[in-house]
A and B are shown apart, each in its own frame.
Chain A
Amino acid sequence: MLRVSKLSIRSVIKRKQPVRGVSFSVQKGKAFTLVGETGSGKTLVAQAVCGNLSGELTADGKIEYKGVDLVRLSRREKRRLYGKELFLLPQEPDSALDPTMRVISQVAEVFRYVRGYAVKDLHHRLAPIFSDLDLSLSEAGRLYPCQLSGGMKQRILLAISLAVPAGFIVVDEPTKGLDKLSRTSAVHRLSNLLEKGKTLLCITHDLGVARELGGHMAVMYDGCIVESGSVNHVLNSPRHPYTRGLIGAAPENGMIPIDEEVLAAMKQPEKK
């Protein structure tokens, strides 16, 4: 469904290449998880797929979505695709919510404009969507974004994503900062999206998320993919020392820091 080939991202101002030669493909109806530490470039890959790289960054290579190269799309073509077929659930839900509006108004607005729901129908149309996400329309819906927890804000964005018929959803760090209970339900909701036939590109540092979503995964370090394959294969028999280090650094595996020598050996000189 989505094929990324030799994607490189260049920063014009800093004269750096934070992503170099990344290639992977995502199968329809399956999850693909990109894992790696902060600064490895995984969020930039997601932004390139979603067409919202910041102005100083330029992408080279190909990102083919249903045969269309997303890197070379015109502004008008982008508008036709993004938000309708491709949807991004951002890392910081705050960045996507208006702090001055009650959340119910924000969700309702999207449903009115995208689905054409009449104002008088909105309440009974939205109530089941909210209750599916364990939110109460009359309580949580009346609050402002700053009054919600991180997990609740993510669920509000998920409610908004249900308004659009997007088949491909990019999720950036769905479990960051959440406690165990909220994390479990966040992952469960992502699995539900897969069951509904959606395709997921998930960006995370939590290897458990990759394991629970299944499908394929790639491990990124310093802008490059160091290992990729099926989730079972990568997590159960990792070949690259960095992947082994990342698995060993998880708290349930003893939290052993990655060997500095392994990291130093992998740092590549950056192309200017």
Chain B
Amino acid sequence: MTFYCIRGENLSKSYRVLGRNNQKQLYRDLSLAIRPGELVGLFGQSGCGKSTLGDILLGLKKPDRGDVFWNEINISQAGQKKRKELRHFYQKIHQEPGSSFPPQQRIEDALHDIVRLRQPDSDHDSCTNKIASTIQELHLEKELLNRYPDQLSGGEIQRFALARVLLNNPVFLVADEPTSRLDYSVQAKIIRLLMQIAAKNKMGVLLISHDHALLEVACRRIVILDQKHPEM
């Protein structure tokens, strides 16, 4: 039996259009499963529900119908304790990576907080070493750790957002338009890094993008969200 790090089964979602009396159906009976280390693309135009599907898989939004399984555990039926236990293995990076960091805190302190949250017993040196090895993997210089989020370029802050996620040892990551505001050269660097890390850490990734060409390079499998018929 194939093991999936995340699985959505027969998911349906609709929402009420503001100011009107009708429901808009985003998808009906959509099923999607991702294996560890697999990078799956999610393509569709703005407003077709790509980010909502990512949020449903991460348990941040509830589907109208259907189930989501984390490591084959149905999270809608699992207790709060179990969900909390698994929560940090299911991560997300956004289009605006700056929003992942408090503006008044140096990047290093923000990353230290994450390591201590996961390993409360770890001392300062082991935290520093863990952060150093993670950022080295992402080709980031140590000096940048002393900066505040607004002192970093778009590519640098996105890689720090990725570092922040990796410090949680995730098994699944939703990368929601991670490079749509970056230029081509930085985009190429970040997507290649994401591909390497997914394969190395056996991390499943749902890469959301409205750029089909990008998904064709990065992913073996692309899910196309059409508002009526999701095409797999």
On A, residues with C-beta under 8 Å from B are: 36-39, 149, 151, 176-177, 179-182, 205-207, 245-246, 249-252, 254-258
**Counting CB contacts under 8 A, is B167 at the interface?**
no
A179 and B181 CA atoms in complex are apart in Å by 11
**Counting CB contacts under 8 A, is B230 at the interface?**
no
A8 and B180 CA atoms in complex are apart in Å by 30
- Given the interface contacts A251-B217, A254-B217, does A38 sit within 8 Å of B183 by beta carbon? yes
Interface hub of A149, A179, A180, A249 (most chain B Cβ within 10 A) = A179
Report the minimum CB–CB distance from A252 to chain B (whole Å): 4
Residues of chain B within 8 A of A250, CB atoms compared: 184, 213
A246/B180 in contact, CB under 8 A: no
B residues 213-227 touching A (CB-CB < 8 Å): 213-214, 216-218
A181 and B188 CA atoms in complex are apart in Å by 22
Which of chain B's residues has its CB closest to A263's CB?
B185
Report the minimum CB–CB distance from B19 to chain A (whole Å): 9
A141 and B177 CA atoms in complex are apart in Å by 28
A252/B46 in contact, CB under 8 A: no
Report the minimum CB–CB distance from B17 to chain A (whole Å): 12
Which of chain A's residues has its CB closest to B184's CB?
A249
B185/A245 in contact, CB under 8 A: yes
Interface of chain A, main secondary structure = loop
Which of chain B's residues has its CB closest to A39's CB?
B153
Residues of chain B within 8 A of A36, CB atoms compared: 183
- Given the interface contacts A181-B45, A257-B188, does A251 sit within 8 Å of B214 by beta carbon? yes
**Counting CB contacts under 8 A, is B155 at the interface?**
yes
A205/B183 in contact, CB under 8 A: yes
B residues 166-196 touching A (CB-CB < 8 Å): 177, 180-189, 191-192
- Given the interface contacts A38-B154, A180-B210, A255-B192, does A249 sit within 8 Å of B45 by beta carbon? no
Residues of chain A within 8 A of B186, CB atoms compared: 37-38
B153/A149 in contact, CB under 8 A: no
**Counting CB contacts under 8 A, is B211 at the interface?**
yes
A37/B213 in contact, CB under 8 A: no
Report the minimum CB–CB distance from A52 to chain B (whole Å): 20
Residues of chain A within 8 A of B212, CB atoms compared: 180
On B, residues with C-beta under 8 Å from A are: 45-46, 95, 153-155, 177, 180-189, 191-192, 210-214, 216-218
A38/B46 in contact, CB under 8 A: no
Which of chain A's residues has its CB closest to B212's CB?
A180
A249 and B185 CA atoms in complex are apart in Å by 5
Report the minimum CB–CB distance from A142 to chain B (whole Å): 10
Residues of chain A within 8 A of B217, CB atoms compared: 251, 254-255
A176 and B182 CA atoms in complex are apart in Å by 8
- Given the interface contacts A246-B184, A246-B185, A249-B184, does A257 sit within 8 Å of B214 by beta carbon? no
B181/A177 in contact, CB under 8 A: yes
Which of chain A's residues has its CB closest to B182's CB?
A38
A60 and B143 CA atoms in complex are apart in Å by 32
A255 and B185 CA atoms in complex are apart in Å by 8
- Given the interface contacts A252-B213, A255-B217, A257-B192, does A38 sit within 8 Å of B155 by beta carbon? yes
Report the minimum CB–CB distance from B193 to chain A (whole Å): 9
Which of chain A's residues has its CB closest to B46's CB?
A179
For this complex, 14 residue pairs linking A to B, each with C-beta atoms less than 8 Å apart, are A37-B185, A38-B153, A176-B181, A177-B95, A177-B180, A179-B45, A182-B46, A205-B184, A250-B213, A251-B211, A251-B213, A255-B188, A255-B191, A255-B218
Residues of chain B within 8 A of A256, CB atoms compared: 188
Report the minimum CB–CB distance from A144 to chain B (whole Å): 13
A207 and B213 CA atoms in complex are apart in Å by 14
- Given the interface contacts A179-B45, A257-B189, does A207 sit within 8 Å of B184 by beta carbon? yes
Residues of chain B within 8 A of A179, CB atoms compared: 45-46, 210
Report the minimum CB–CB distance from A62 to chain B (whole Å): 28
Interface hub of A37, A182, A250, A255 (most chain B Cβ within 10 A) = A255
A146 and B89 CA atoms in complex are apart in Å by 33
Residues of chain A within 8 A of B95, CB atoms compared: 177
Interface hub of A38, A206, A246 (most chain B Cβ within 10 A) = A38
- Given the interface contacts A38-B182, A177-B95, A180-B211, does A255 sit within 8 Å of B154 by beta carbon? no
Residues of chain B within 8 A of A257, CB atoms compared: 185, 188-189, 192
A207 and B211 CA atoms in complex are apart in Å by 14
